[in-house]
Amino acid sequence: MNHSTPRPERNGPRGGFRSRLPALASAWLLVAGCDLFYPALPGGVAPGKDFDSAALLPLDAQGKAVISGNITSGKVDVYSLGPLEPGDRVIVSVRPAAGSNLDPIICIFNSQQEVFALNDDLDYAAGKVESYIDEVVTVADEPYYLAVSKFYFGDRSGAYVGDVEIRKGETIPTPAQQIVMLDFDGGVISIPGDRTYTTGPFDSADIDAAYTGMTDQIKAKIVETVRQNFRNTSVVIVTTDDPAPPECTSTVFFGAFSETKFGVAQDVDAYNRDRCDDALVFTNNFDDPFNPRPSADGIGVAIGNVATHEMGHLLGLNHVADVTALMDTTGSASTLLTDQEFKTAPLSITIFPTGKQNDMALLDRVLPPKE
């Protein structure tokens, strides 16, 4: 399953100013296969270079197939998995072929070329760059696609081998309620692959002396913005000014300083398997990249959008390339002042060379229906 392990570059720097820096990786289960490089699939079927040229992957009587190919910079191998139904479990393991330097990344897309599942590394910290996906389909569609490429940063190209298995009739996971705590009291958060941060009580003067005495106003705008952004989901937003919730929450802290990031999440938590993971918005000197300095309400909107972005990572969302999207990583600081939304947008090139992310479809998959 996709229990995540951090990789510092995974969701990449946001160009031109402080990035939002989470990570993406997963646990691994070896599916039967061998480390041989096959120039074509069984029956002579070769991978396509895009969605349009993807040939149907032939599976054996047990629903299994071995894949292989060679990835150079910017190249994507695409296979059609054909029609899939709710309850179909798709298990994919892709690894460098013997002697290969490839750092693979894999993605499964639906017929609209929207992400169904994406994985980079099994355990980057341990040097395991194998990619692994094990997910159950919830929506019938035809075709689903499997795409293989290389990690964007660096030049880890080369050959790969992999195993694909589709099991029928598996149980579809039932999403659990997600509560998000906006913590303005301060606390401690450890970011895997980074460091441990300590935040004090939120004080608007820590943003800039120009905001002295505006703590309550800016806090209110942050909360309003986050609730507005999640309005079409069942996510429950609470703050440290409210009674403590009776169950575990994901917490967003506010405070501390970073020269390179607006915010950071502990993980890109594919399919929200950990409902108690945390994130941090670096609010000290937050206004430095803005010119002119935003109003109190403006800075509250910007901080609220970053908090939502980091919470998006904790719900499994990756970076996209659309300045109107909450998961964008391409815009300037000023784009944070706008009414960004969860939407369908192209994946950031640092995530995968092709395809889109439908934020709301992914959120609907990991959250219970809104009442």
pLDDT over 70 for what percent of the chain?
87
pLDDT digits (tens, 9 = 90+) for 55-105: 999 999 999 999 999 999 889 999 999 999 999 999 999 999 999 999 999
Q: Are residues 212 and 160 part of one domain?
A: no
Average pLDDT value for residue range 32-61: 72
Question: Quick one: pLDDT at residue 343?
Answer: 99
Domain encompassing residue 353: 174-366
Cα 124 from Cα 112, distance rounded (Å): 30
Res 34 pLDDT > 60? no
Q: Are residues 123 and 244 part of one domain?
A: no
Q: Are residues 336 and 230 part of one domain?
A: yes
CB 341 within 8 A of CB 324: yes
Q: Does the residue 23 lie in any domain?
A: no
Q: Are residues 137 and 117 part of one domain?
A: yes
Question: Quick one: pLDDT at residue 41?
Answer: 54
Among the candidates 167, 201, 236, a domain finishes at 167
Q: Are residues 193 and 159 part of one domain?
A: no
pLDDT digits (tens, 9 = 90+) for 325-335: 999 999 999 99
Assign 155 a pLDDT band (cuts: 50, 70, 90).
confident
Assign 128 a pLDDT band (cuts: 50, 70, 90).
confident
Question: Quick one: pLDDT at residue 351?
Answer: 97
Q: Are residues 183 and 325 part of one domain?
A: yes
CB 356 within 8 A of CB 327: no
Residue whose tokens read 């890109």: 268
Cα 2 from Cα 28, distance rounded (Å): 8
Q: Are residues 220 and 156 part of one domain?
A: no
The amino acid present at 208, given as its one-letter code, is D
Question: What percent of the chain is helix, strand and coil (3-state, nearest 5)?
Answer: 15, 30, 55
pLDDT digits (tens, 9 = 90+) for 252-307: 999 999 999 999 999 999 989 999 999 999 999 999 999 999 999 999 999 999 99
Q: Does the residue 21 lie in any domain?
A: no
Q: Does the residue 6 lie in any domain?
A: no
Cα 57 from Cα 49, distance rounded (Å): 14
